[in-house]
Every structure is written in C-alpha cells, then in structure tokens.
C-alpha cells in the first residue's frame, strides 16, 4: 500500500520586507510526519548568508560541513546558527536565492538532529551542506534570518512540507 | 519586522486540485543489526517514473553504503563523487566495480552524546523501470561527528538496461544499527 505524502503544511509569500521568517509549533503542525522540507525563494536587501536557528537556540550548538563553489568548510560546534545559503542584494533585477533544507526525524527526543541543505544564488554561489543541531529535544520552531542588517524582500516565499516515513 | 507562521496556508499557496505525485512505498527500520536490507518487488510500482530513498544511517563502523540492483554482483557499476571536508574539494570517478559505493555514508555507533545521530541521505534513482537505458543514481549524504565530518555529492551508474526490480543496500564490512531508517518513495512523471 502506498501513502501520498510531501504535503504542504505552511506557506507564506511576504507582503512586506521582513528580517526573519519562523515556522512554529512544529510538533503540532507536522504531527504524523517524520521529516520536514523547507523550500524558499528569497530576495534580499543585503548580500549575506541566510541562516537557520532551531527552538530559539543561539548558543554554539551547531556544526556543519559545507561545499561552497570550489571550497569546503568544516565547523564543529562553533556555530550559533547554520549558514545554509547566500542571499544577494536584489539591486540587480532577478538576483534570487533558492534553497531547500531537509530535516530528518524532527520530533524525536532520542538523537541529535541532522540536516541536509542545498542552495543556489543566481549571482555567484552554490552551496551544499550537512549540518547538525546538538540537541535531543524535539524541534518546535525553525527560524530563517540572515547575517547583517538586510531584510527578505516582499515576494520572498517560504514553504514547509511534511514527509511521512 | 519578523514573520511567524503557525501553519496557515496563504491564498497564493493553495493547491489547485493536483493529484499526489510523491508517495511513500516502503519503509525498512531494522530491529536487529543486519548487514544489509533490500527493497524488492519494485516491478509492481508501475505508476511511478522515479524512485527516491530517504535514509538515516548508522552502523557498526562509519563505512561505505554498498548498492546493487537486481542482485547483480558483476563488475557493472561506476562511481563518481565530490567530497568536502575542509579546504579544497576532491573528486573521484572510476568503474567496473561489483557495486556502487557511497563512501562513509554510515555514521558510527560510538556511544556518547556527540555521536548520538544518524547520517542522512537522499538518493534519487532516475527512470528505474526503463529497459532502454542504463540506470543512473545520485545522492547527497554526509555526517558531522568528531571522528568524521564530511559531505558528499555522489552518483553512480549500473551498466545494465534492465528495469530495476530490487535495490540492495548494505554496510561495507559491518552491520546496520537498529533504528536506522530507509524509506522508499515513488515519484510520478
């Protein structure tokens, strides 16, 4: 027996600029799902990294390995957020970032949370990554923001999907 | 200004009555510690064009994921990958192997908080039921642990035109930790 899945759980298209976007109440919103996928299409007023924080945790509880263009980086428990893509200024028309963030077993309380991510910025960068939140807590919220002082521009979209397993 | 969502779909995102195109077909979560698992009976999934496996993998050692199709252990497989740890990337490609190996795709089952995770993978198998071209696959996988932290973009080819009816997934030289998870999805096209 097959089970249709990859279900859209929440979505927004920003009607005005915003410094961050957060999906909350995940264990309620995504009850019955094991994995989550967030897909975003972003324009920005500044050129900087887009990052993720989980459950409002701003301590150095994050690690990652990324491939960015021709280089790789490994950062073990020194990050207070996970940089997952680059968002460039939209002064040049059409410069957009598309990212996908894959969350595995988000509600478990027995293991640390691991993620895969891939993103492309039409101006200059391609980024792939594997990352980790060093916590066994169930994920209740996930927040997207960026370094620097920019905003996600109106028209940026963020979609949250649930996947059963 | 920040924006918080509580699961409300806005009008621009509402669906238009489209049919589901991504379905869960099988999930295997070993309760023992097998050396391998196999998805079989794939020939019955005639509604689907492509397959995807989403996995969280841990084993008795952080070693390769071995992949074979239809039980074929002849030298019919080719492998390619880009690997990132820190600094410059390295890449590899070679062939005539008796399996596709995705290097270090399993996390080790060391005890301790820092090892308390499973290595994630998303593996795509394109046009799996075709009988007029060789089967190609690609994956993104990796892990962030104290003894191993790396990301790989891997691909492989099975030089055989047969439709894929089974997929063997094993841990090279070890056993798969119980509670690892392998989910098989069908994608219509």
Query: Given an 8 Å threshold on Cβ–Cβ distance, is B1 in contact with A134?
Result: no
Closest by CA to B139, choosing from B153, B150, B157, is B153
Q: How many CB pairs under 8 A join A and B?
A: 182
Residue B56 included in any domain: yes
Give me the tens of pLDDT residue by residue for chain A, a chain 165 residues long: 799 999 999 999 999 999 999 999 999 999 999 999 999 999 888 888 899 999 999 999 999 999 998 899 999 989 999 988 877 665 555 678 899 999 999 999 999 999 999 999 877 789 999 999 999 999 999 999 988 778 898 999 999 999 999
Residue A71 included in any domain: yes
B86 CB within 8 Å of a chain A CB: yes
In our burial notation (b when 16+ CB lie closer than 10 A, e otherwise), range A57-71 reads beeebbbbbbbbeee
* pLDDT one-digit tens code per residue, B124-168: 999 999 999 999 999 999 999 888 999 999 999 999 999 999 999
Q: Is ipTM over 0.85?
A: yes
The partner residue sitting opposite A111, judged by closest CB among B118, B149, B183, is: B118
A163 CB within 8 Å of a chain B CB: yes
Closest chain A residue to B182, measured at CA: A165
3-32 in chain A: CB under 8 A from chain B = 3-6, 8-14, 16-25, 28-29
Residue A95 included in any domain: yes
Q: What is the pLDDT of residue A46?
A: 81
Residue B128 included in any domain: yes
Query: Given an 8 Å threshold on Cβ–Cβ distance, is B5 in contact with A8?
Result: no
Structural domains of chain B, count = 1
Residue B12 included in any domain: no
The partner residue sitting opposite A24, judged by closest CB among B6, B22, B153, is: B6
* Alpha-carbon gap: B84 to the closest alpha carbon of chain A (Å): 5
**Is residue B9 pLDDT above 90, yes or no?**
no
Closest by CA to B119, choosing from A113, A51, A133, is A113
User: Tokens 């005005």 — which residue?
Assistant: A16
Please report, for the domain that includes residue A57, its CATH number.
2.60.120
**Is residue B3 pLDDT above 90, yes or no?**
no
Give B103-129 as a DSSP string.
TT-SEE---SGGG---EEEEEEETTTT
Residue B16 included in any domain: no
Query: Given an 8 Å threshold on Cβ–Cβ distance, is A116 in contact with B5?
Result: no
Residue A144 included in any domain: yes
Residue A89 included in any domain: yes
**Is residue B19 pLDDT above 90, yes or no?**
no
Q: What is the pLDDT of residue B12?
A: 37
* Alpha-carbon gap: B45 to the closest alpha carbon of chain A (Å): 9
Residue B17 included in any domain: no
* pLDDT one-digit tens code per residue, B32-88: 999 999 999 999 999 999 999 999 999 999 999 999 999 999 999 999 999 999 888
Residue A94 included in any domain: yes
Residue A65 included in any domain: yes
Please report, for the domain that includes residue B78, its CATH number.
2.60.120
Q: Is A110 left (phi over 0), alpha (psi -120 to 50) or beta?
A: alpha
Cβ B115 vs Cβ B90: under 8 Å: no
Structural domains of chain A, count = 1
- The confidence band for B8, taking pLDDT boundaries of 50, 70 and 90, is very low
Closest chain A residue to B58, measured at CA: A111
Give me A93's structure tokens: 């028309």
**Mutate which: B21, B144, B189, vs A, most A CBs within 10 A:** B144
Q: What is the pLDDT of residue B131?
A: 97
B143 CB within 8 Å of a chain A CB: yes
Q: What is the domain range of residue A42?
A: 7-163
Residue B144 included in any domain: yes
Q: What is the domain range of residue B50?
A: 22-187
pTM above 0.90, yes or no: yes
Residue A85 included in any domain: yes
Cβ B153 vs Cβ B80: under 8 Å: no
Cα gap B173→B147, rounded to integer Å = 18
Dihedral sign computed on CA atoms, order A40, A41, A43, A46: positive
**Is residue B123 pLDDT above 80, yes or no?**
yes
Give chain A as a DSSP string.
--EE--EEEEEEE-SS-BSEEEE--HHHHTTT-SEEEEEEEE-BSS-EEEEEEETT--SS-EEEEEEETTEEEEEEEEESSEEEEEE-BSSSTT--EEEEEEE-STT-SSS-EEEEEEEEETTTEEEEEEEEE---SPP--EEEEESSS--BPTT-EEEEEEE--
């Amino acid at each position: 027996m097959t089970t249709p899945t990859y279900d859209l759980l929440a979505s927004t298209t920003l009607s005005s600029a915003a410094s961050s976007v957060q999906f909350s109440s995940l264990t309620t919103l995504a009850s019955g799902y094991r994995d989550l996928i967030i897909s975003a299409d972003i324009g920005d007023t500044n050129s900087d990294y887009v990052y993720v924080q989980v459950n409002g945790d701003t301590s150095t509880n994050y690690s990652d390995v990324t491939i960015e263009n021709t280089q790789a980086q490994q950062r073990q428990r020194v990050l207070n957020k996970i940089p997952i893509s680059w968002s460039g200024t939209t002064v040049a028309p059409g410069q957009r970032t598309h990212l996908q963030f894959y969350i595995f077993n988000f509600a478990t309380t027995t293991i640390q949370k691991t993620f895969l991510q891939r993103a492309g910025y039409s101006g200059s960068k391609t980024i792939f990554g594997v990352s980790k939140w060093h916590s066994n807590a169930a994920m209740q919220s996930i927040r997207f923001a960026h370094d620097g002082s920019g905003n996600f521009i109106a028209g940026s979209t963020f979609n949250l999907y649930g996947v059963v397993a | 200004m920040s924006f918080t969502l509580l699961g409300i779909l806005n009008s621009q995102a509402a669906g238009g009555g489209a049919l589901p195109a991504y379905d869960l077909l099988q999930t295997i979560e070993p309760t023992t510690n097998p050396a391998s698992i196999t998805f079989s009976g794939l020939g019955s999934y005639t509604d689907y064009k492509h397959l995807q496996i989403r996995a969280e993998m841990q084993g008795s050692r952080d070693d390769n994921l071995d992949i074979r199709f239809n039980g074929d252990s002849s030298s019919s497989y080719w492998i390619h990958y880009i690997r990132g740890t820190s600094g410059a990337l390295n890449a590899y490609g070679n062939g005539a192997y008796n399996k596709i190996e995705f290097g270090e795709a399993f996390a080790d089952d060391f005890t301790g908080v820092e090892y308390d995770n499973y290595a994630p993978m998303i593996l795509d198998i394109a046009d799996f039921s075709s009988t007029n071209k060789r089967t190609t696959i690609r994956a993104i996988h990796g892990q962030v642990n104290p003894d191993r932290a790396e990301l790989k973009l891997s691909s492989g080819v099975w030089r055989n035109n047969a439709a894929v009816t089974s997929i063997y997934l094993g841990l090279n030289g070890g056993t798969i930790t119980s509670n690892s998870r392998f989910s098989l999805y069908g994608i219509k096209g």
